[in-house]
Structure 1
Amino acid sequence: MVYPALSALLLVFHQLFYLVSGAEFYSSIHEMTKVFGYEQKMLLHMQKFLADNQGKLDFLKARLREFEIERDEARDWGPSYLDSPLNKYLLNKRLTVDWQRVENLMVTSTGEKSLGRLRKLRNRETLPKKRDLEGAIDGLLKLQFVYRLEAKDIVRGVLDGVDHGTQLSSEDCVDIARLALSYHHPRLAHSWLIEAGNRLPGGEKAEELRPQVLALLVQAKAELEDFRGLNDTYQELIKIQPASEEHARNYESFLQSLGEKALVNDSKPILEHAPVPEESQVVDPFQAFCLTCSGHWQLTPKERRHLRCGYVTETHPFLWIAPLKAEELFQDPLLVVYHDVIYQSEIDVIRQLTNNRLVRAMVTGANESVVSNVRTSQITFIPASAHKVLATIDQRVADMTNMNMKYAEDHQFANYGIGGHYGEHMDWFDQISFDAGLVSSPELGNRIATVLFYLSDVAQGGGTAFPRLRTLVKPKKYAAAFWHNLHASGVGDVRTQHGACPIISGSKWVQNRWIREIDQSDRRPCELWDDSLATYAQILEVEKRMEAEAASRKV
């Protein structure tokens, strides 16, 4: 599959390009920006090639004018032109020396050196490949789906209300629609094909693209069961381009498989996005994740009114001098954001430590860790012993959380790419992962808590969504989110399911501190009941009910 016009699309989502050997462009903005200079070099080679050939063309044009003047003069003189020995000499000179020079220049491969250098750059391993372009389109489709954006806005460069100043062509729309169909997103594909049809250019290009648009529309309408629309579009297609035998056979086979449905005359409007479900409706985890990212699911003012903001001083004596600014986002399970808890000087050191170390992030599969579109980012792990700044950050985390950081995992740093996201997941390990040997140092126990530092602001998108809590943590540079992954009983808390929402614009850098269970019993002791079966609030409610029943019996 070829996407000849999508370089503009990539530029919509941050200036590109970089790829270390074996890595990918689209899964990290940081990696993409590092070799933007390659394109600058390619432009210079192209300019040199044009300059060399322009000089050649200018010379040939000048010789052509001279030869035409001599020809016109000979015509005017007639047979007497060759009476002059000078004219005889000049004619012989032209036909031998001058025309030989012209011929030699015309066959010379001018600009070959520039062309060779350009080819060498283009063939580098550190330049985008087809999968990177498909990854960029996939990122765009994720943004459209998760944030319920409309193709008519995206095609004009408007993303979630912000104009990015770049428009897409009809050809771009066709390429995006084709990939959307292959990913089983017929609604999105249909919207892109409508825009492709609206933006068809004139001339031969339109004649080439229009049949492609109609053929893909037939496929999209078939998947959406718009039978009347499908038939109308197919008839329009065969008027301008006779169907191939295979295409006609597929269409007839499709009509036969429909049976009575093919006789339906109604053609309902095709919505680009399914209607937003009511809060009472049951939705799958990914839908809940998307609705939280887009802001359609959130806590009501009544549910938020008991949440507090303030200064934390009680977890360590040092905080009496330098208290931490804390903002509660949820109380049970606890979800807190600490503001201004990492500094620019520390972030500068981190960026130096992570330079040229990022690799594509993986997710834990059934029996191994695998690359997945569920997680489009690049990461690296660095031990706390690698730099004193990392040890300082760990001491600060201990002060913030009152957790023992001695057995915490290595620092993880991540940078997200075009539409970069990490779908809904738990930070704690299930028993299957322990049994399959996928957990490093299992003797340290499960991940009892997480601290997520935001090392950059993000212009649009990129929040951390907690669908079960209907809460979205928006990334803010120098802040850190903290939550417990396990109940006090040690059972994984499914309510902490979360995910990184796709980035619309900007570059997102985060730092993860995963804290293990070992040596935490004095920091977070077990409750007197199994809190994985009932919350403290539920127990109090039962006690109140029992007291009320006892009081009524006494009366």
Structure 2
Amino acid sequence: MLQFGLRGVSGAEFFSSIHMMTKAFEYEQKMLRQMQKFLNNNQQKLDFLKDTLRDFESERNEAREWGPAYFDSPVNKYLLNKRLTVDWQRVENLMETSTGEKPLKRLQELRIGKGELEGALDGILRLQFVYRLKAKDLANGILDGVNYGTQLNSEHCVDIARLALRDQHPRLAHSWLLEANERLTSGEKSLELKPQILAMLVQAKAELGDLRGMNETYQELLQIQPASEEHRRNYESFLLAQGDKVSLNESQIIEEHGPIPKEDEVVTPFQAFCLTCSGHWEPKPHELRDLRCGYLTETHPFLWIAPFKVEELNHDPLILLFHDVIYQSEIDAIKELTRNNLNRGQVTGLNSSSVSNVRTSQTSFRPVTAHKVLETIDKRVGIMTDLNMKYAEDHQFSNYGIGGHYGEHYDWFNQITIDSGVVSNPEHGNRIATVLFYLSDVTQGGGTAFTYLKKLVKPKKYSAVFWYNLHASGVGDLRTQHGACPIIAGSKWVQNRWIRELGQSDRRPCEYWDDSLVTKSMIMESLKKEKALKAASDSQAI
């Protein structure tokens, strides 16, 4: 699993939600106002000191012109003593006073934590890895072919590379370090960054097996500055790790991204997720041949008047895409309902739920009774799916952040998870089905990837995806593994309706066979072969 891991005001987190990032932008405006107050307070202080300095110098210049006769006047004696006592004391007190302390304190309160920066950098690395983007393009503000006009400097590239190395992604780190080196400009900052770039390049090249490049880079580093104890120790440890067969003449071309796996090659679920999100994996034409689209009229009499527009995405397991099944007025009501109720999304594990880099989003759960519009949506979902919504879970709303994603997962619960007490209302059964509403369009990325099926559903506002999570036998369907692809650009809002098993026996009855072990298509194929064999046997008998 590729791990990509900001606490701000009052413990809020901004990077994991575009909605929250807009609030962070508002916080920046407040910070600018506090900074202006600080400057104004200190400007008044400086203006007073300048005026006082000018008066004191004027008095001294006048005294020089008069010479010793200046002190013949008792008034002048008084003024000099006053300056040396009361006036200079006032100046001293003013210079010691921390002018602007209140706005400074407020500025410190508003400033977001370092974790926000790491969260943003994580998002950039995630986009680069999943969509196989080039560091050079990202540094030039080009995201998957679209130029957003924002340039990164050498220091920015070093920050990204440092995080990539820390999280053990040397290929990505190597590409960012090369870009950082190219973007170096003359100046004091360059003298500071160059050794950092070379030291990290030594580490990246060593981890990638380019020993010749590692040695050459290390020698270049030595020409700039004497090797620090840390650099020397790292270099020697790299050599030691190679054993007796180490050869500093061994060179290796370092590609920014690893090779794309072949069709028959075994891959991890996360690799499958990335390949589906990036479009390198997709169904073959013959797998799409029997899929249809049309109007749904069968599940409710109301649909005779206003049928749903439905597109088949997959037959087994069944996945459907409903078009235009939620309205802008409902979306506006939902966003108002969740405006101040978003929190970092959690991932349900075997024994607990916790915040994880597997999921970067802000979520909100609202009961169906929270607003009339939620009741309306549930009635519509019941008609769409022909399932009982009585025991459905609370409505979940999510907004994804910088490179926001939700790694590959299943919506159904593992039995161990149910037994551990993590699942609410276990008596309602497992999640038989999911309906995922898209409440916004997404400019780039942000699709829903079904990794086993190699299918990518791109977000389209007002539409909803429906699929069964369980076999008809009640066993979790491994083929429904899916994930939310990282967002390249835009803001993604979704609404989840998780429907439980209780009350569905008359809506989705069991098959005559255990469909978790054998599918209907396999049975039909077997019957077809038996029929063909019987026909052949009968013809031979004749």
The two structures have a TM-score, normalised by structure 2, of: 0.90
- Work out which of the residue numbers 281, 286, 295 in structure 2 matches 1:311: 295
- C-alpha contact 1:49 1:111 (8 A) present in aligned 2: no
1:118 counterpart = 2:104: yes
In the alignment, the residues of structure 2 paired with residue 300 and residue 205 of structure 1 have an alpha-carbon distance, to the nearest angstrom, of 52
1:147 counterpart = 2:136: no
| Post-superposition CA distance 1:52-100 (Å, at most 9, x none) | 54566567778888999999999xxxx9x54797999999899778899
| Post-superposition CA distance 1:103-150 (Å, at most 9, x none) | 9668735995545313323225xx521222211111111111111111
Q: CA deviation at 1:286?
A: 0.1
- Work out which of the residue numbers 431, 435, 438 in structure 1 matches 2:422: 438
- Work out which of the residue numbers 515, 538, 541 in structure 1 matches 2:525: 541
Residues 291/87 of structure 1: CA separation in 2 closer, same or farther (3 Å cut): farther
1:449 counterpart = 2:438: no
Which residue does the alignment assign to 2:39?
50
Residues 101/232 of structure 1: CA separation in 2 closer, same or farther (3 Å cut): farther
- C-alpha contact 2:318 2:467 (8 A) present in aligned 1: yes
The amino acid that maps onto 1:530 is D
User: For 1:243, what is the secondary structure of its paired residue?
Assistant: coil
Which residue does the alignment assign to 2:171?
187
- Work out which of the residue numbers 137, 140, 157 in structure 2 matches 1:173: 157
1:490 counterpart = 2:479: no
Alignment RMSD (CA, Å): 2.9
1:239 counterpart = 2:228: no
User: For 2:452, what is the secondary structure of its paired residue?
Assistant: helix
Q: CA deviation at 1:153?
A: 0.9
Residues 239/162 of structure 1: CA separation in 2 closer, same or farther (3 Å cut): same
1:204 counterpart = 2:193: no
In the alignment, the residues of structure 2 paired with residue 144 and residue 92 of structure 1 have an alpha-carbon distance, to the nearest angstrom, of 76
- C-alpha contact 1:141 1:180 (8 A) present in aligned 2: yes
- Aligned pairs for 1:461-472 (under 5 A) are 461-472=445-456
Residues 309/62 of structure 1: CA separation in 2 closer, same or farther (3 Å cut): same
1:383 counterpart = 2:372: no
Residues 239/86 of structure 1: CA separation in 2 closer, same or farther (3 Å cut): same
User: For 1:468, what is the secondary structure of its paired residue?
Assistant: coil
Residues 266/92 of structure 1: CA separation in 2 closer, same or farther (3 Å cut): farther
Residues 45/437 of structure 1: CA separation in 2 closer, same or farther (3 Å cut): closer
In the alignment, the residues of structure 1 paired with residue 283 and residue 11 of structure 2 have an alpha-carbon distance, to the nearest angstrom, of 43
Residues 83/26 of structure 1: CA separation in 2 closer, same or farther (3 Å cut): closer
Q: CA deviation at 1:534?
A: 2.1
In the alignment, the residues of structure 1 paired with residue 400 and residue 95 of structure 2 have an alpha-carbon distance, to the nearest angstrom, of 44
Which residue does the alignment assign to 1:6?
none
Residues 29/110 of structure 1: CA separation in 2 closer, same or farther (3 Å cut): farther
The amino acid that maps onto 1:153 is D
1:366 counterpart = 2:350: yes
1:253 counterpart = 2:237: yes
- C-alpha contact 2:14 2:24 (8 A) present in aligned 1: no
1:24 counterpart = 2:8: no
The amino acid that maps onto 1:26 is F
The amino acid that maps onto 1:145 is F
- Work out which of the residue numbers 522, 526, 530 in structure 1 matches 2:510: 526
Identify unmatched segments of 5+ residues in structure 1: 1-16
Q: CA deviation at 1:173?
A: 1.2
In the alignment, the residues of structure 2 paired with residue 531 and residue 487 of structure 1 have an alpha-carbon distance, to the nearest angstrom, of 6
In the alignment, the residues of structure 2 paired with residue 51 and residue 106 of structure 1 have an alpha-carbon distance, to the nearest angstrom, of 20
The two structures have a TM-score, normalised by structure 1, of: 0.88
- C-alpha contact 2:34 2:106 (8 A) present in aligned 1: no
- C-alpha contact 2:438 2:461 (8 A) present in aligned 1: yes
Residues 48/24 of structure 1: CA separation in 2 closer, same or farther (3 Å cut): closer
Greater alpha carbon shift after TM alignment, 296-305 vs 142-151? 296-305
Which residue does the alignment assign to 1:356?
340
- C-alpha contact 1:45 1:115 (8 A) present in aligned 2: no
Greater alpha carbon shift after TM alignment, 300-309 vs 155-164? 300-309
Which residue does the alignment assign to 1:4?
none
- C-alpha contact 2:38 2:104 (8 A) present in aligned 1: no
In the alignment, the residues of structure 1 paired with residue 244 and residue 520 of structure 2 have an alpha-carbon distance, to the nearest angstrom, of 58
Residues 234/358 of structure 1: CA separation in 2 closer, same or farther (3 Å cut): same
The amino acid that maps onto 1:49 is F
Which residue does the alignment assign to 2:3?
none
User: For 1:263, what is the secondary structure of its paired residue?
Assistant: coil
In the alignment, the residues of structure 2 paired with residue 298 and residue 273 of structure 1 have an alpha-carbon distance, to the nearest angstrom, of 20
- C-alpha contact 1:424 1:497 (8 A) present in aligned 2: yes
- C-alpha contact 2:403 2:486 (8 A) present in aligned 1: yes
Q: CA deviation at 1:324?
A: 0.8
| Post-superposition CA distance 1:305-341 (Å, at most 9, x none) | 3221211111110111111111111111111111111
Identify unmatched segments of 5+ residues in structure 2: 1-5
Greater alpha carbon shift after TM alignment, 149-158 vs 348-357? 348-357
Which residue does the alignment assign to 1:480?
464
In the alignment, the residues of structure 1 paired with residue 193 and residue 51 of structure 2 have an alpha-carbon distance, to the nearest angstrom, of 41
Residues 82/20 of structure 1: CA separation in 2 closer, same or farther (3 Å cut): closer
User: For 1:453, what is the secondary structure of its paired residue?
Assistant: strand
